[in-house]
Structure 1
Amino acid sequence: MSLLVGVAFLALVLSDGGVLAFAPIGGGASSHVSITGTALLQKVTEVCRDVIEDGGDDFNPTGPSPEELVRACLGPTATGEVSAAKFRSALNQIYVQNGLVDRDFANSPQHHFNSEAFAEGRALITEGLASIKANIASKNYQAARETLGRVLHTLQDFYSHSNWVELGHKEPYLNLIRPDLALENLAGVDTPTCSDCASGTCPNQILPSILKEKKLTSGYMGIFSPAKPPGKCSHGGGADLTSTTNPRGGINKDERRPDNADFHDNAIAVATAASLQLLDNIRNVVGNGEYLRLMGIARSSVIVFVIDTTGSMANDIEEARRVVFNIIDTKKGTQDEPSEYILVPFNDPAFGPLIRTINPDIMKAEISKLKADGGGDTPEMCLSGLQLALTGAPGSSHIYVFTDAEAKDIALKDTIVALIRSTKSTVSFFMTGSGRSRRDLGLRAGFDAYRDLALASGGQAILVSKSSLPQATDIILDSSTSALVTVLQRARNPGKTETFSFLLDASLTNITIYITGTSVPFILKNPAGVTQSQAEASGKLGMVFSVGNLQRIRLNPNKLAGVWEINVQSSSPYTLKVTGQSIITFIYDFVEAFEGPHPGYAVITGRPQAGNPAMLLVSVMGRKGPASVKVGDVSMVTVSGSEVVRGDLKDVGNGDFLVTVTKVPAGEFVVLLNGTDVESASEFQRQSTTQMSVSTVSIKAVIDSSVEPGEVFSLPFTVVTSATSGSCTFSVKNDRGIPMVFPASIPVSPAGVATSTLTVTPPASTPSGTDVTLTLEAKAPGGGDSNYAVLRLSVVKKITDFTPPQCKLVSIEADHCPYNCPTDTTHRWGLSANISDVNGTGIKSLTLRQGNGNLTHTSLSDPVVTATYNASCCSQVFELVIVDNEGNVGNCFHSIVRSSGPAPLALSLPLLVCLLGSALTPLRDFFLLL
């Protein structure tokens, strides 16, 4: 399973040291990322198989690549291409946060179960689990992924940094994810635990008395001091100063050596099993569908509409409604059917709420409720509504804004740009007017702001009359696809006559060219020399549609692969964009190196640092995974110019490349990738949409915990600039309107550093699971340069109920089941059980995990829920997952499987195993009825 899908960062190495980026448990196949990837992919495969087979189909991926796994998971009946980009992005978000624990909390014992910090480490895990479940319930999947990555790191470290495997344990320590179970038999602070090891490579330093008494301990870690309690084990390694204090050596199993090979291998195996156990706990609580959404496995198309509802917008609202209905009705049953619908209305002064649903009928109903009312010939709260959409929608979404007025909240423009860059979402504006009113004049005056935001995101800024709007909204249909890619995007302001080349490959379908600008002539030429101009509405190369400031050219299906050219002839500003549909694509993040006991790379949350080489981690996806794509080069290209800077590629395996650009282009740039599709031997070209630039300012801040409603959360932060005096201007905005306190100006030290603290106080009424997006912005002294950091803070209520639901057998009737499985269906068996949540919050759900029978139950609101199960004698295993309203999980299991023999075994003492918590299959199999 560990090889099912390429794992980002798996083999990512420091260019000069050869040290694994994330290797707190070994290197290579035993790094944190590989352990996490093995568990994630095994659980995804299991859930996908259950979902597909429950629907009556066979789960048969055509190969081991992420593309093939996603395609098989989304079902065999849906037609069309499907991209694995969101799956890979979700995995990367988890891996990155897993690795950042080593950067941000290198000296924190509880984050690594060092220095016998067992209670504190367990608290991080259980509090993180509660936050993950609350975030998923509120559809805040990215926040849940980030917490999951950190929690898995801490959980996995327990098995490498403690003596759990030295004590002979082969199974995970369930108590780490069950706060209702005590942490037992811990070594006291005054209890010696290790013998001295001068060489640092002794096979087992744990004292015989500790082994005999099964005492649990872990190694002490000192990055800044060699001090530790007398007789205690050290973590070990060059970064641990305590390893030279008697008893010397160390017990960590981070790396495989000849002296610790067995313990290391066992630690890897148990850490993987523990990760599976935790993932299964989450899956049991949220259900299969939500678990797959957490993993980014859903059709990639997401429809996000931000709509002005002031009095002059009646026709626009009706057109938006028509488009949504059309998408829902025409794409149903295909891979292009949207996986989620998001709607944000705005007016003046109100905006929101954000409405999200996976049910198309609900989206139809919600958009049908919108009425044009209020407002006037004044600007509206457009950017406030857009901010809600950017923070609420999944990353890389396509967002469509409908308005006929300039933005009243234009002060949010920098925040919107930061959110666009952070989410890599594409924003397109549909601006309408009759051209006669004061409102129309204001709209045109504010058009530049919308155009800037659209260009920054790779979207379109379309200006049309209200009567022509229906002719412009076809671009929404074009982009509502699961496999949309950008081949080329350029902008010219002022305009000039220029010929642009772009490469079309055999995998591309539904290729569309967009030109925005006032009266922009063009001549399009294919590789064979055939041409077509804007004057030919239906030509040899495609169909040309013109409305407002938009020209849309849809190429004929029998397009010719190769290098195409388009000559644009205009002195007025214009933009050019070429898109298509293909599963050959790439995702990327800017990264920076960090040092410490386990050095690696961290994703940059803002703009990359000026004056340093820029580094990117690029993940490439082909038709059948990384092996079906050969990458040629990765470059940075200016959108508004012609500068191209090629990066140095380092293939780190599994379709991932570390790209270093020593000199970043001046101004705004995008990422351009060229390669070859091995399947068709066709060269391809792909371009990112989001514009980026470098900055001399950086903001460092870390959020590692949630905050309770009504409590104050303090966030220290640091601003680093090239200035050595003066003060930085600082501001913070959030998408929930939550009260914050922060300094507007921070003095810069002679070292160019400014530090301060932000406090956030969510009201006591804030719903648990609320995800607050904080956008921090800092400007250098004099305001010449700025940067941002986008962080997520989860608001989660304090949980006091940790007791799982109870299951008690009432009766079992299986006497009529013959020894061998009968060929007819008349032989059946059944059972009944009473389920309760003693002193808890009540039962939330019952889910039949194993068994093909019929499950019925009384009302879940009853103090005691009676469940009845009846099945064919050929369906011999019953497993029921019970979840209470606090997310605690109970597991009822019973089997009528009997061992071979001359006669059936007596069933006078039938066995019902109620395993509380999420036990693994090997443990359940131990309790089979024999």
Structure 2
Amino acid sequence: MKPSFGCGDNCDYCTAGKYDFYDKEDGTPLSSPVEYGKAGGVGRGGQCKYFAHLILHRAIGMEEIESYDDMAKSQSIPAIKKDKITGITSVQAQPGDIIFRTDYDHTAVVVEVDYSKKSVMVIESNMTFNGYYPDDVAWSCKSGSGESNEIIGTRTLSESVLKSESYKIWTGKEDGAYRDYYNSYYYASKPIVFIIDDTGSMSTNIIYAKNAAIRIMNEEKARIESEYCKTHCDASCSERLYTLITFKDGTEEIDRQTYDIDHMIDSLNGLYASGGAGCPESSLTAIRNACKLVRNADIYLMTDASSNSYGVDETYADMKEVNETKNAVLTSRGTLHSIIYSDCGPAPMSSLLSKSASAAYDDMQSQCNKVASSAIIAKAALFDPAGLDGYSLLSFASGGLFFNIPSNQTETATEMIMKQSFSESTIAFYDGDGAKSYSIPVDGSVSVLQLALNVTLGSSVLVELKNPSGATVTDATDGVSVLTSGGNVFYSVEEDALVDGNWTASVTGSGTYRISATALTSNPMTYSGDTSVPVGSSLNLSAGLIFPVPGVSFELVNLDGTLALDTSLTTVDGLNYSGTSLMDTIGSFRFKATGEGNFQRMNPATITIGSLDVIVPEGMNLLKGTSASYPCEVRNLGTVEDTYDFFVTSSLGWAATASIPPQITLPAGGVFKINLPVTVPVDAEAGDADTLSVQAISQANSLIYDIDELQTVVKLQSSASIPTMTEWGMIIFMLLVGSVSFYFIKKQQR
């Protein structure tokens, strides 16, 4: 599928391997390997559904794909839809979706969405005779009418085509999970999401942010198109999904999702700063919606403002919303990197501690006037959830980086931050306090090493990096670049300066900080286990490697890197490992792998073992006009009584929440139970989904919280479903009319 691999140079395409479902139509097998998509009618002719099947088979081993009739009967939803309330038409398809049309029996895979134009780009196998690909080499390979010749290529489906040809998204047998498989497995590199504030105050910073992102993406493009990647398919050569989201005061704008670097660069170049009425912007709302779009992504937030509350201008986010955003990031297995150029208030309350009593009082009085009836100050004491404190909490909890960048270093610092986290795997990730030295093992698969010292507010620390021979590397060392920005320090060690062995990062000074080392490597580790469970529960652990590592073992470490618990994971292929550990201690941990040859990988996201447990059941698929009741629980697993703020939200308003208590008090070991009724409106459409979110936050410590969610999805009305009362009335009426007619006919015959 890549011309650079030599596929499609003449009339043939890359071989697909031998699979039974590519047998000839008479049932006899083709020669091995199958010459999939070969012109002239050889093989299956590259028929569209079989091409989509090939992708699914390679990604998840799928052996069956439904007929078009069955696809239409499944929980398929329109690829483009008009909102009944606002009248706005929006694309519902996302990259990785299988879309189809039944009037023409065609299937394709979405690889790009242009939300502004409401169009999608698909990769498909399609006939050349219809003129879709007149410039392709396959056009010259026609034989006879040409209708048996097909080509694998990309094509853009406009808004009008999506509507007129009634394309639908196939959710299939695995509840719509195909886009996650396609994005996570077919493309090994983590997806990238840019969330950029494009209000008027960002006029200079948005230019710097764009320039930095574009330079990093051009470097990645050069690597993918290198001579090495023409003959290798390891993680360092794989493409990734890019998403661009912009925001102001209200609803965020999803600009584009694509695997094409040039297309994303075009979208970034088109950004400019304008508008924006008040100080706070919709940054947290944009983060949550990004997590709905893309899983397992590196998310880059770039803003110069605090966050408003749920997209409402001149309001400020509170701890409840920060927790919801944190849950969205962790549930999607995302990593949030916050690049904050400034925040326009309220200022972090901790900053008042360094001021004189009168100045602190004046500042606090100003903030109280600004947020008047808001509960921010009363509820958060020394913590500003809407500003720097909230952003840093979200970044640190998800294993990301947080930087408050001085304006004179915006472009260089932004580029270094992106380069550090664009790397494929994390080698070391520790939270420290005061002077300490950290070992950074580098194995032979690492080609670029990035090190970052991320300081917290009020800290004064420095870091020195030494190679395995003990020599200090500096900005003057060939192949090494160093940047200091706002107390943060960045190192980039290129391949020419990289030596296998144990590097050392020595931190001096006082205060708290985070030290992280990432690497561009052909053997990254992915973690897909739990990130949060209540104390006393089993923690599911799961990790994957690209290549086997001799002597590999896994453990849970404390946030400072010290050993917390050895884990026993099993494998059948030497690449995918899984197991469970009973967690009987409340705390925060990280997952770490080590092996022979200086191999070390860490998952940067925090694994939390908590004293509070919110439990909701599985969601349901319901018919429109029907109801269900969900039994939910809140459990205090701690050793003392606690009072919790209690929140229940329904994304589409289907749940009855008026009688929900705002607070609940539970003794140690206590349980609160509640039934939450949900009613699907009669005008709901198949595929509509209401998300019911249940959250509890300790009033004694707002960092003790838990949140759980479920979805109620509208399912298709079965043709064999029970008639409604209106339909029963019509049936009875027709039966009566038929009976009367039959009576008079018989009477006339007499």
TM range, smaller chain: 0.5 to 0.7
The residue identity in structure 2 corresponding to 1:522 is: V
Structure 2: distance between partners of 1:684 and 1:328: 28
Structure 2: distance between partners of 1:768 and 1:51: 39
Q: Which runs of 5+ in 1 are unaligned?
A: 1-40, 57-72, 75-85, 95-121, 145-279, 591-603, 677-681, 803-930
2:328 counterpart residue number: 419
In the alignment, does 2:324 pair up with 1:409?
A: no
In the alignment, does 2:588 pair up with 1:647?
A: no
1:610 counterpart residue number: 535
Matched residue SS, 2:411: helix
Change (3 A) 1:799 1:323: farther
Change (3 A) 1:731 1:356: farther
Change (3 A) 1:549 1:43: farther
Q: Which runs of 5+ in 2 are unaligned?
A: 1-17, 24-31, 40-53, 81-90, 99-168, 226-235, 308-315, 352-383, 721-750
Change (3 A) 1:663 1:705: closer
Matched residue SS, 2:499: coil
2:163 counterpart residue number: none
Maintained 8 Å contact 1:738/1:761 = no
Structure 1: distance between partners of 2:341 and 2:350: 8
Matched residue SS, 1:414: helix
The residue identity in structure 2 corresponding to 1:505 is: D
Change (3 A) 1:650 1:362: closer
Alignment partner of 1:485 out of 425, 449, 459: 425
Change (3 A) 1:410 1:705: same
2:520 counterpart residue number: 581
Structure 2: distance between partners of 1:336 and 1:357: 20
Higher strand share: 2
Alignment of 1:278-317 (within 5 A): 293=182, 296-317=185-206
In the alignment, does 2:366 pair up with 1:458?
A: no
Structure 2: distance between partners of 1:291 and 1:51: 27
Q: Encode CA deviations 1:527-586: one digit per residue, 9 max, x unaligned.
A: 222223xxx322267221233343221113142212221111121332211000224343
Maintained 8 Å contact 1:700/1:719 = yes
Matched residue SS, 1:448: helix
Change (3 A) 1:321 1:338: farther
Alignment partner of 2:620 out of 705, 719, 735: 705
Change (3 A) 1:611 1:530: same
Maintained 8 Å contact 1:143/1:771 = no
The residue identity in structure 1 corresponding to 2:448 is: N
Q: Encode CA deviations 1:668-703: one digit per residue, 9 max, x unaligned.
A: 221111123xxxxx2311101111221122233233
Change (3 A) 1:747 1:761: farther
Alignment partner of 2:492 out of 545, 554, 560: 554
Q: Encode CA deviations 1:28-69: one digit per residue, 9 max, x unaligned.
A: xxxxxxxxxxxxx979999xx99994499xxxxxxxxxxxxx
Q: Encode CA deviations 1:704-748: one digit per residue, 9 max, x unaligned.
A: 5334567655432233333798875432446x5655434234676
Alignment partner of 1:777 out of 673, 695, 699: 695
Deviation at 1:486, TM superposition (A): 0.4
Maintained 8 Å contact 1:631/1:675 = yes
Q: Encode CA deviations 1:66-92: one digit per residue, 9 max, x unaligned.
A: xxxxxxx99xxxxxxxxxxx999x869
Superposition CA RMSD, Å: 4.8
Structure 2: distance between partners of 1:359 and 1:652: 32
State the identity %.
20
Q: Encode CA deviations 1:587-614: one digit per residue, 9 max, x unaligned.
A: 4455xxxxxxxxxxxxx6x7222245x5
2:588 counterpart residue number: 668
TM-score normalised by the chain length of structure 2: 0.60
Maintained 8 Å contact 1:133/1:286 = no
1:131 counterpart residue number: 75
1:718 counterpart residue number: 633
Q: Encode CA deviations 1:321-377: one digit per residue, 9 max, x unaligned.
A: 3345445555445566754332332222x0324444226466456555654334466
Deviation at 1:476, TM superposition (A): 5.8
1:731 counterpart residue number: 647
Deviation at 1:438, TM superposition (A): 7.3
2:444 counterpart residue number: 506
Maintained 8 Å contact 1:672/1:688 = yes
Deviation at 1:513, TM superposition (A): 0.4
1:199 counterpart residue number: none
Maintained 8 Å contact 1:501/1:566 = yes
Alignment partner of 1:530 out of 455, 458, 471: 471
Maintained 8 Å contact 2:195/2:245 = yes
Maintained 8 Å contact 1:497/1:571 = yes
Out of 501-510 and 647-656, give the one that drifted further: 647-656
Alignment of 1:70-89 (within 5 A): none
Maintained 8 Å contact 2:348/2:388 = no
Alignment partner of 1:566 out of 505, 526, 540: 505
Structure 2: distance between partners of 1:424 and 1:470: 28
2:339 counterpart residue number: 430
Maintained 8 Å contact 1:647/1:659 = no
Maintained 8 Å contact 1:128/1:705 = no
Maintained 8 Å contact 2:450/2:517 = yes
Change (3 A) 1:659 1:288: closer
Structure 2: distance between partners of 1:520 and 1:456: 22
Structure 1: distance between partners of 2:350 and 2:712: 37
In the alignment, does 2:251 pair up with 1:351?
A: yes
1:636 counterpart residue number: 556
Maintained 8 Å contact 2:652/2:690 = no
1:621 counterpart residue number: 545
Alignment of 1:224-373 (within 5 A): 293=182, 296-326=185-215, 329-332=218-221, 334=225, 338-348=239-249, 350-358=250-258, 360=260, 363-364=264-265, 366-367=267-268, 370-373=271-274
The residue identity in structure 1 corresponding to 2:431 is: A
Structure 2: distance between partners of 1:485 and 1:358: 22
Structure 2: distance between partners of 1:415 and 1:323: 30
Matched residue SS, 1:575: strand
Alignment of 1:826-845 (within 5 A): none
Matched residue SS, 1:418: helix
Change (3 A) 1:557 1:733: farther
Matched residue SS, 1:569: strand
Deviation at 1:618, TM superposition (A): 2.4
The residue identity in structure 2 corresponding to 1:753 is: V
2:380 counterpart residue number: none
Q: Encode CA deviations 1:237-262: one digit per residue, 9 max, x unaligned.
A: xxxxxxxxxxxxxxxxxxxxxxxxxx
TM-score normalised by the chain length of structure 1: 0.49
Maintained 8 Å contact 1:405/1:440 = no
Matched residue SS, 1:424: coil
Deviation at 1:420, TM superposition (A): 2.6
Maintained 8 Å contact 1:716/1:757 = yes
Change (3 A) 1:733 1:506: farther
Structure 2: distance between partners of 1:285 and 1:661: 28
Structure 2: distance between partners of 1:87 and 1:525: 47
In the alignment, does 2:611 pair up with 1:696?
A: yes
Matched residue SS, 1:506: coil
Maintained 8 Å contact 2:288/2:329 = no
Matched residue SS, 1:798: coil
Alignment of 1:137-156 (within 5 A): 138-139=92-93
Structure 2: distance between partners of 1:285 and 1:693: 29
Structure 1: distance between partners of 2:417 and 2:243: 14
Out of 698-707 and 437-446, give the one that drifted further: 437-446
Matched residue SS, 1:689: strand
Maintained 8 Å contact 1:301/1:337 = no
Matched residue SS, 2:556: strand
Q: Tell me which of the two structures has the higher relative contact order, counting C-alpha pairs closer than 8 angstroms and 6 or more residues apart.
A: 1
Alignment of 1:516-527 (within 5 A): 516-517=454-455, 520-527=461-468
Structure 2: distance between partners of 1:50 and 1:382: 50
